[in-house]
Amino acid sequence: MKPETEAELAEIVADLKEPVRIAGGGTRGVAGPGTTIETSGLSGITLYEPGALTIVAKAGTPVAEIEAALEAEGQQLAFEPMDHRGLLGTVGEPTIGGVVAANISGPRRIQAGACRDFLLGVRYVDGTGRVVKNGGRVMKNVTGYDLVKLMAGSWGTLGVLTEVSLKVLPKPEATAAMAVQVPDAATAIQTLSAALKSPFEVSGAAYDPQTGRALLRVEGFTDSVAYRVDQLKSVLSDSGEIDEAEQPADLWRALRDVTAFHGQDGDVWRISVKPTDAPDIAARLQAYQTLFDWGGGLIWALASKATDLRARLGVHDGHATLVRVDAATADALGRFQPEPAGFKALTKGLRQKFDPRGLFNPGLMG
């Protein structure tokens, strides 16, 4: 089913007799019930006010269309959403509704924030077929329940998004990338932490164990970027040999999309941890390959198929999500970290309120 209007979607949901899978552009390859509601028919930018740094688009609007409109005005989605197609081997077109539903956020999250932090308002259809609107088109609109933040990262289990309002930001005038050669993960995290704690506004902080490089990004006005890069070199002078990395846009796009894992056999995990715990966590994983982002707060891991990395991690302050996996392993291990009993009861209660008939993406999030 591919509704082309919000009213048509609401009517479809109201008449449903069985659970459905909610899909945007189909780039995430998530399995579910045989019946699918595709939101790609709900497409188009409905409002763009560059002066107000605000864009409103229907949920099925391709991300590429939104980025093109912003590019023409020298603006961007500051949370730089990842494109999963290369990692997952999927086709289709990423949609803005899918980005919001999964709260997809890239390397700049450490400075600018996550997708949910830029989400101003939403429209969606709940499990009864009712159209709900929450939030607004300006950041100061904070009245009522903050369903806006709740919908971000709910993976379509609470409602089907039909429209989203987002804050956008100007693109930086200049970008520079630095690479610090380090001997191990512990030194890398110390290096990234020192840079992030400095006053020099680092907008990207990653570590690639395969090359032994701690990677840093600085953005802004040209003179400011040059000054901050020089200052960071002084701050990090004892960390290791420092070079300026070429083609910073390509470098950070590759980190965002985890291109190092493209075409490689195995399951891909996404593990959120305290940055200071990252070296120990990575050692416990015994994975084929790892990649650190968010100053060490995010670890991408490539592991042999059907390996339960959560069991290897044991009790830790964080969570591990299966991103690329076959259906059997997803069913056996669960894509998402199991919730503690209290959170699980809260989640169940929320779903009962939003989707009382259990129609949307059942079983996806536990």
Q: How far apart, in whole angstroms, are the C-alpha atoms of residue 181 and residue 214?
A: 6
Q: Give the Cβ contact number of residue 168 at 10 Å.
A: 21
What pLDDT score does 366 carry? 64
Q: How far apart, in whole angstroms, are the C-alpha atoms of residue 207 and residue 205?
A: 7
What is the residue whose two structure tokens read 């090359």? 211
Residues of the chain with pLDDT under 70: 135-145, 366
pTM of the model: 0.90
Beta strands, E only, 95-173: 119-125, 131-135, 160-167, 169-170
Helix (H, G, I), strand (E, B) or coil at 86: helix
Identify the helix (H) or strand (E) that includes residue 327.
Answer: helix 327-333
What pLDDT score does 297 carry? 96
Torsion of CA 158, 6, 79, 354, to 10 degrees: -10
Domains and CATH numbers, the chain: 6-170 (3.30.465.10), 174-256 (3.30.70.100), 259-333 (3.30.70)
Q: Give the Cβ contact number of residue 208 at 10 Å.
A: 20
What pLDDT score does 145 carry? 54
What pLDDT score does 316 carry? 83
Q: How far apart, in whole angstroms, are the C-alpha atoms of residue 329 and residue 325?
A: 6
Q: How far apart, in whole angstroms, are the C-alpha atoms of residue 12 and residue 37?
A: 9
Q: How far apart, in whole angstroms, are the C-alpha atoms of residue 328 and residue 204?
A: 35
What pLDDT score does 282 carry? 93
Report yes or no: 160 and 37 within 8 Å, Cβ to Cβ.
Answer: yes
What pLDDT score does 295 carry? 96
What pLDDT score does 140 carry? 42
What pLDDT score does 137 carry? 54
Residue 322: strand pairing partners? 269
What pLDDT score does 36 carry? 86
Q: Is the torsion defined by CA of 76, 93, 157, 309 positive or negative?
A: negative
Report yes or no: 166 and 118 within 8 Å, Cβ to Cβ.
Answer: yes
What is the residue whose two structure tokens read 């195995």? 266
